């Protein structure tokens, strides 16, 4: 028993030494803090980069969705057209350029006309006069037809820098020039000439060979609204020329094939690539209408249009390093039957 106690007493000091507690030195603490700071900084940088990437992708996806929605709206509008102009910024037969008779300034911004067409504006019963006089031919005509023609024009306008209202590079404006500024009153809008009664669709607003009216910039009978913002800069020079459609081709496999693309193209691009106001972000290719053989009358055919629209998310959620999106393309055929060849 004595030997057992002696053995325990000998081992006791060693056990105390083994369980003696040691603290951190200042150098060890500083090294630990430094390593922790590096790890935390790396993680924060990764999280911030992930958030920025998510915001850029959101901006791109949202902008692309808006471009597709805007293009679908224009397509639906075009399907109701009775006549589409294939010459807006070029000389027309028996008349001047159409852009000379439509507004090109909106709230101080210069806008380039891209697409212009006539469509029938439906008139509801509440819009029509309740009674027509015996000699009021126009009133009787409106109550029977229940429609009036409206001139619709789509523009692309470059946004001013640092504009608090329009933050994108450019926007699309929809302009409507209606026959009647208010209903059931049948007083015509100032400058309006009916393309079916007083003039013609192809040569509007000519009356008896000379201009008899023009579309008003603003006021009663006119409507202007921004269809979509964040359209790419129409003067963007960094776009690869191969990504910009010319609407002419000598390739038989191309939808724009023509035996004489320079003088007699199957489709005409608006705005023209040779014009000063050409646009590479919003433009259209319109089926050209020739003349009936042996006459000077224009063909009465339904026209088809191919539209091109490219967005740019720069300006949305400070996506300053975001590049232009891919061009969205859509096609439409006018369904109007007025004066059409069966």
Most confident by average pLDDT, 57-71, 249-263, 305-319: 57-71
Average confidence score pLDDT of the chain: 84
pTM, rounded to two decimals: 0.83
Question: Is 15's pLDDT higher than 60?
Answer: no
All structural domains of the chain with their residue ranges: 45-333
Mean pLDDT of 170-183: 92
Q: How far apart are CA 309 and CA 328, in angstroms?
A: 5
Predicted local distance difference test score (pLDDT) of residue 44: 84
> Pseudo-torsion of CA 78, 84, 89, 93, nearest 10°?
180
Between residues 221 and 294, which one has the greater pLDDT?
221
**Is the torsion defined by CA of 265, 294, 198, 82 positive or negative?**
negative
Nearest to 302 by CA among 72, 86, 147, 115: 86
Between residues 12 and 213, which one has the greater pLDDT?
213
Query: Do 270 and 115 contact (CB within 8 A), yes or no?
Result: yes
Sorted by sequence, the CB contacts under 8 Å of residue 146 that are 6+ apart come out as 122, 123, 128
Nearest to 118 by CA among 14, 28, 26, 215: 215
Residue pointed to by tokens 């990764």: 46
- Structure confidence by residue, pLDDT tens digits, 180-203: 888 888 888 999 999 988 888 888
Predicted local distance difference test score (pLDDT) of residue 325: 84
Between residues 301 and 235, which one has the greater pLDDT?
235
- Structure confidence by residue, pLDDT tens digits, 246-295: 888 888 888 888 888 888 888 999 998 877 777 889 999 999 887 766 66
Predicted local distance difference test score (pLDDT) of residue 9: 56
Nearest to 268 by CA among 88, 118, 101: 88
């Amino acid at each position: 028993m004595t030997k057992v106690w002696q053995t325990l007493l000998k081992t006791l000091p060693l056990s105390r030494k083994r369980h003696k507690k040691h603290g951190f030195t200042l150098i060890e603490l500083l090294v630990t803090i430094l390593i922790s700071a590096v790890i935390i900084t790396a993680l924060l940088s990764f999280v911030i980069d992930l958030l920025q990437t998510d915001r850029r992708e959101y901006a791109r996806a949202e902008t692309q969705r808006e471009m597709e929605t805007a293009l679908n709206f224009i397509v639906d509008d075009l399907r109701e057209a009775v006549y589409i102009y294939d010459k807006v910024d070029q000389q027309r037969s028996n008349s001047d350029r159409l852009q000379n008779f439509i507004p090109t300034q909106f709230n101080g911004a210069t806008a380039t006309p891209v697409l212009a067409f006539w469509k029938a504006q439906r008139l509801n019963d509440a819009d029509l006069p309740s009674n027509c006089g015996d000699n009021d031919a126009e009133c009787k005509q409106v109550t029977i037809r229940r429609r009036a023609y409206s001139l619709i024009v789509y523009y692309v306008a470059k946004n001013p820098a640092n504009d608090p209202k329009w933050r994108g590079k450019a926007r699309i404006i929809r302009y409507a020039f209606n026959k009647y500024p208010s209903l059931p009153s049948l007083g015509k809008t100032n400058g309006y000439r009916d393309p079916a009664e007083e003039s013609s669709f192809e040569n509007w607003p000519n009356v008896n060979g000379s201009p008899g009216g023009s579309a008003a910039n603003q006021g009663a009978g006119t409507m202007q609204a921004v269809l979509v913002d964040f359209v790419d800069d129409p003067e963007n020079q960094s776009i690869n020329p191969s990504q910009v459609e010319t609407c002419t081709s000598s390739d038989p496999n191309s939808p724009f094939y023509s035996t004489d693309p320079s003088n007699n193209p199957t489709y005409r691009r608006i705005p023209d690539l040779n014009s000063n106001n050409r646009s590479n972000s919003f433009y259209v290719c319109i089926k050209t209408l020739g003349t009936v053989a042996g006459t000077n009358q224009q063909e009465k055919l339904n026209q088809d249009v191919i539209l091109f629209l490219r967005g740019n998310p720069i300006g949305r959620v400070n996506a300053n390093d975001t590049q232009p999106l891919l061009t969205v393309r859509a096609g439409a055929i006018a369904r109007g039957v007025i004066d059409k060849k069966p």
